[in-house]
């Protein structure tokens, strides 16, 4: 079993993560992790923070001479902005300064429920951890999981479908061929007309002190059939994938395959008929409404997940709130943030999906070294071909 934890505040010294359960012998390339971190930092509509940070990972344990040792990996990402905030973020009680408290919670953020739950008068204690800055750690962990998945030919892609009501018209065919264009798009969108409109919409939101959300899709290719299981509720892989994507800040909905559109289809239209390719000795489908999952088990088709990110709740033109100190109606705190982070969010979702799939592979094939896992994996592939 894999597991990971993250620690760190948005403006603390650093972000930390520990990833445990990877087999030994997996090649780790720091440049790959850093490239994934850079992908997360990009996107039109990001705020001032991304000009300060240049995220890069330090691997503090679990890797020796370029390969995992099987012991927990710890990954550190420094917060460059800590230097501007170290007094505010001090761990010393002598540095406490009540005049620096911020007390006007932003509707939609973790501020108010977090203050009530943790009995905090200063919402900084909540916002520092609730900040989407934490997702840099997840991308670091997810990129290690991606390296693991690559050993089995599994690749993860993502793109933006909609921002602020502007829908892109794109199909998933030729995704790999077109991927460099998606990667180079400031909104991770292949549809040039929609891209221009999305950018205009983001500009408009910035001008009005507003924010925008949107939807994105994560697609996983070269997945084998048989990950996850129907036999128990807590073994269904689609539930883990949904939970992992839902755990990304600001996500309010997740769909697998055709998702909510299935409600309007008849049973005969909504399923993916089964075919067999004797040359490749494998079953396949011509459609993928199921998004690669049937009964909580991968069926060998691409895993397709869509999600909606709500507009970021930190507004430069803030909504009404209550000052928790005075109980008077006020405008919510104005705190530096992003106007739109949907493109970044899709990269974070990729990382979460990578983690869940790496875990599913480890669960099915076990093993303490990459050699052992690979042998088990190959035997299973042989078994499915001789089925």
Where does this chain bind ligand EPS (CB under 6 A)? 10, 47, 49, 81, 131-133, 135-136, 312, 314, 336-338, 341
Secondary structure (DSSP) of 245-276: HHTSTTEEEEEETTGGGGGGS-HHHHS--EEE
Task: Please report how close the Cβ of residue 29 comes to ligand EPS at its closest, in angstroms.
Answer: 23
Compare residues 182 and 339 and give the one whose CB is closer to ligand EPS.
339
- For residue 163, the cross-strand partners are 166, 214
Which tokens hold the place of 167?
């829908």
Compare residues 133 and 155 and give the one whose CB is closer to ligand EPS.
133
Compare residues 156 and 341 and give the one whose CB is closer to ligand EPS.
341
Which helix (H) or strand (E) segment holds residue 113: the answer is helix 111-118
Helices first, then strands: H and E counts in the chain: 11, 17
Task: Please report how close the Cβ of residue 146 comes to ligand EPS at its closest, in angstroms.
Answer: 19
Task: Please report how close the Cβ of residue 73 comes to ligand EPS at its closest, in angstroms.
Answer: 21
Which tokens hold the place of 332?
């919510």
Compare residues 255 and 338 and give the one whose CB is closer to ligand EPS.
338
Tell me how far apart the alpha carbons of residues 272 and 225 are, in angstroms, rounded to a whole number. 15
Task: Please report how close the Cβ of residue 262 comes to ligand EPS at its closest, in angstroms.
Answer: 32
Compare residues 10 and 299 and give the one whose CB is closer to ligand EPS.
10
Angle at 187 (CA atoms; ends 182, 192), nearest 5 degrees: 65
Distances in whole angstroms, Cα of residue 154 to Cα of each of 218, 220, 303, 374: 13, 7, 11, 13
Distances in whole angstroms, Cα of residue 370 to Cα of each of 28, 140, 157: 12, 20, 24
Task: Please report how close the Cβ of residue 28 comes to ligand EPS at its closest, in angstroms.
Answer: 23
Task: Please report how close the Cβ of residue 132 comes to ligand EPS at its closest, in angstroms.
Answer: 4
Which tokens hold the place of 112?
């108010």
Which tokens hold the place of 238?
């689609």
Task: Please report how close the Cβ of residue 333 comes to ligand EPS at its closest, in angstroms.
Answer: 11
Task: Please report how close the Cβ of residue 307 comes to ligand EPS at its closest, in angstroms.
Answer: 16
Task: Please report how close the Cβ of residue 345 comes to ligand EPS at its closest, in angstroms.
Answer: 9
Compare residues 12 and 47 and give the one whose CB is closer to ligand EPS.
47
* Strands in 164-313 per DSSP E: 166-167, 214-221, 251-256, 274-277, 282-285, 293-294, 297-298, 303-309
Compare residues 20 and 76 and give the one whose CB is closer to ligand EPS.
76
The dihedrals phi and psi of 270, each to the nearest 5 degrees, come to: -85, -5
Tell me how far apart the alpha carbons of residues 67 and 243 are, in angstroms, rounded to a whole number. 30
Task: Please report how close the Cβ of residue 201 comes to ligand EPS at its closest, in angstroms.
Answer: 18
Which tokens hold the place of 359?
């875990």
CB 102 within 8 A of CB 123: yes
Compare residues 36 and 191 and give the one whose CB is closer to ligand EPS.
36
Compare residues 22 and 250 and give the one whose CB is closer to ligand EPS.
250
Tell me how far apart the alpha carbons of residues 199 and 290 are, in angstroms, rounded to a whole number. 32
The dihedrals phi and psi of 143, each to the nearest 5 degrees, come to: -70, -35
Compare residues 132 and 360 and give the one whose CB is closer to ligand EPS.
132
């Amino acid at each position: 079993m894999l597991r990971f934890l993250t620690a760190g505040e948005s403006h603390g010294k650093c972000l930390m993560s520990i990833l445990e359960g990877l087999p030994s012998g997996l090649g780790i390339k720091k440049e790959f992790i850093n490239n994934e971190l850079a992908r997360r930092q990009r996107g039109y509509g990001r705020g001032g923070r991304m000009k300060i940070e240049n995220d890069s990972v330090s691997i503090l344990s679990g890797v020796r001479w370029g390969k995992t040792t099987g012991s927990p990996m710890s990954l550190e990402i420094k917060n460059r902005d800590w230097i501007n905030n170290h007094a505010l973020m001090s761990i010393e009680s002598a540095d406490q300064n009540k005049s620096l408290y911020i007390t006007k919670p932003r509707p939609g953020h973790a501020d108010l429920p977090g203050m009530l739950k943790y009995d905090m008068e200063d919402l900084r204690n909540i916002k520092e951890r609730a900040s989407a800055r934490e997702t840099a750690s997840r991308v670091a962990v997810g990129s290690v999981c991606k390296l693991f998945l690559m050993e089995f030919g599994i690749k993860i892609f993502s793109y933006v479908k909609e921002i602020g009501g502007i829908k892109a018209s794109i199909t998933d065919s030729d995704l790999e061929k077109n991927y460099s264009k998606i990667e180079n798009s400031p909104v991770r969108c292949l549809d040039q007309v929609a891209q221009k409109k999305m950018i205009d919409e983001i500009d408009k939101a910035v001008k009005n002190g507003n924010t925008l959300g949107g939807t994105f899709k994560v697609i996983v290719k070269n997945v084998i059939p048989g990950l996850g299981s129907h036999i128990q509720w807590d073994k269904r892989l689609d539930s883990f994938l949904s939970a992992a994507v839902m755990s990304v800040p600001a996500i309010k909905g997740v769909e697998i395959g055709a998702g909510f559109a299935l409600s309007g289809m008849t049973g005969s239209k909504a399923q993916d008929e089964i075919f067999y390719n004797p040359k490749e000795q494998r079953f396949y489908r011509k459609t993928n409404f199921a998004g690669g999952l049937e009964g909580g088990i991968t069926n060998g088709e691409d895993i397709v997940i869509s999600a909606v990110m709500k507009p970021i709740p930190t507004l430069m033109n803030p909504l009404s709130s209550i000052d928790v100190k005075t109980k008077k109606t006020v405008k919510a705190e104005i705190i530096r943030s992003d106007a739109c982070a949907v493109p970044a969010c899709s990269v974070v979702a990729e990382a979460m999906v990578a983690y869940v799939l790496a875990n599913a592979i480890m669960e099915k094939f076990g093993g303490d070294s990459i050699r052992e896992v690979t042998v088990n994996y190959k035997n299973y592939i042989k078994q499915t071909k001789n089925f």
